[in-house]
Amino acid sequence: MSRIKIKNFGPIREGFVGNNGWLDIEKVTVMIGDQGSGKSTVAKLISLFSWIEKSIVRNLISVNHLNDSVFKNLCLQQDIFEYFSKDTFLSFEGDAWSFEYDGQKKTFNSNINVKKSEQYVLPKIQYVSAARNLLTILYNISLQNIVDNKGNIIDMASNIPFMVRELNKEYMKALSELAQNGFPLPISDTSVYFQNHSTFIVTRGTKISMSAASSGIQSITPLLLVSYYLSKEVQKDLFVKVQSIDNNLKNKIENELRKEDEELVEKFNQYCSFGKEVLLDDDVLLLEKRLKNHISSSFVNIVEEPEQNLFPTSQQKVINSLLEYNNALDSNKLIITTHSPYIIGYMTLAVKAMELYKKAKKEEVRAQINEIVPQKSAISHGDLVIYELDEKDGSIHKLDTYKGIPSSKNYLNSKLSEKNELYAQLLDIEDLCQ
């Protein structure tokens, strides 16, 4: 399990209250809070530190070259560069490496955890931004040549946020792989198609271009397509994944193997051409152990506002899908930021459902549970943590639980209660109007 400590960084000042400031990143981690409380800040830091850890393992980044200046430049890509102060303190303990940034000392330190690094599973890290609706516009822009009055081609996509452009790369792959013959969405009897460089949906027999689709459809299409696509990619057999790597990665793997043993390069080429059957078992184990440092075998899915533009029942179907993809591998992680009380409610249902699945002995009982929460979407209470972020003092608190079930006494539900109280006040005032 990885964890992060954040002090005096942007909207986060005090940071996590308890556990010496350490915020544990569980298999399913949810963050709630008002605008400007720092939900996306935490998510982006988790994404960035996880990416740095992955890049070191793959030898894409040298630890010797990592310093406070390099780290700040990486934060610039995440649009959190302006959040630094002289009192900023950031620390991250991953599954293989630990990092610490100290604003007062102006240092960035890295340390390897040798014991944990042996068990490290290289992840595919995807940040699904709340700006994902821009992907429809971005695709239309990419098909056009926009020329200024001097005849120069203007690259409009260069102004699109980095994370949206990265998401778009995976989105286009997912469309090509999954939507040629239609990818079913879990709402409104709708499927997404990608044919002849055009994306459209079919709803109850009616064809509509993606640009004319509802905002909810435009929001969940890249979210679910990319999430499903990447969850399936990391599950593939290692030999299958090796067949699809590009020449640049293949050359890099060969160079890394050559440093250790020239014979490993030859065995790698045999493995690529003929499969593991042509090698001795010990050679396969050694080779695949090295390959796992270059090819992702888990999925860290970081999602901003999965509820975006969706009706509550649709939110439940989207959450169930994301949980199903996350449950596919033990090493997967799902990190969510949300403003929706329904999302917390559906997480509660998923936890309770798992509890009942474990108790149910009769198949008809399990079928009844499945009608409410599909078994593939149920989660154990120990795999879920919900954090509340306070925009007033910049603190983070862990949501209480009762017998493993998330408490209903949380920020989002309190706002619903406040609405009821305000309505009661209006009724009192109404009496004065008589």
Mean pLDDT, rounded, for 323-338: 97
In tens, the pLDDT along 114-171 reads 767 778 999 999 999 998 887 876 655 554 555 556 655 545 455 566 788 889 899 9
Q: Is residue 214 part of a domain?
A: yes
Q: Is residue 360 part of a domain?
A: yes
pLDDT value of position 149 = 62
Q: Where are the strands (E) in 241-374, listed by range? A: 298-304, 333-338
Q: Is residue 151 part of a domain?
A: yes
How many beta carbons lie within 10 A of that of residue 278, not counting itself? Answer: 12
54 in the same domain as 139: no
pLDDT value of position 410 = 61
pTM of the model: 0.89
260 in the same domain as 230: no
313 in the same domain as 411: yes
279 in the same domain as 225: no
113 in the same domain as 187: no
pLDDT value of position 275 = 85
Structure tokens belonging to residue 199:
């994306």
Q: Is residue 240 part of a domain?
A: no
148 in the same domain as 70: no
pLDDT value of position 40 = 96
Q: How many separate domains does the chain show?
A: 3
What is the pLDDT confidence band of residue 193, given thresholds at 50, 70 and 90? very high
User: Within 13 Å and on the Cβ side, how many CA atoms surround 207?
Assistant: 7
Whether 287 and 242 have beta carbons less than 8 Å apart is answered as no
In the predicted model, is pLDDT for residue 46 greater than 60? yes
Q: Is residue 434 part of a domain?
A: no
What is the pLDDT confidence band of residue 413, given thresholds at 50, 70 and 90? low
pLDDT value of position 107 = 95
Q: Is residue 374 part of a domain?
A: yes
What is the pLDDT confidence band of residue 400, given thresholds at 50, 70 and 90? confident
Long-range contacts of 427-432 (CB under 8 A, 24+ apart): none
**Cα dist from 278 to 33, 219, 274, 291, 295, whole Å:** 55, 47, 7, 17, 21
Q: Lowest mean pLDDT: which of 128-142, 340-354, 386-400?
A: 128-142
418 in the same domain as 332: yes
214 in the same domain as 303: no
Length of the chain: 434
Which residues are paired to 4 by β-bridges?
23, 92
Provide the CATH number for the domain around residue 391: 3.40.50.300
H-assigned helices in 277-340: 281-291, 312-327
Report the chain's mean pLDDT, rounded to a whole number.
89
One-letter amino acid at 36 equals G
Between CA 392 and CA 34 the distance in angstroms is 10
pLDDT value of position 146 = 52
In tens, the pLDDT along 263-318 reads 999 999 999 888 888 999 998 899 988 899 999 999 999 999 999 999 999 999 99
Between CA 48 and CA 77 the distance in angstroms is 10
Domain span at residue 39? 2-122+299-422
What is the pLDDT confidence band of residue 66, given thresholds at 50, 70 and 90? very high
* Nearest CA among 287, 188, 281 for reference residue 242: 287
316 in the same domain as 250: no
Q: Lowest mean pLDDT: which of 259-273, 333-347, 368-382?
A: 259-273
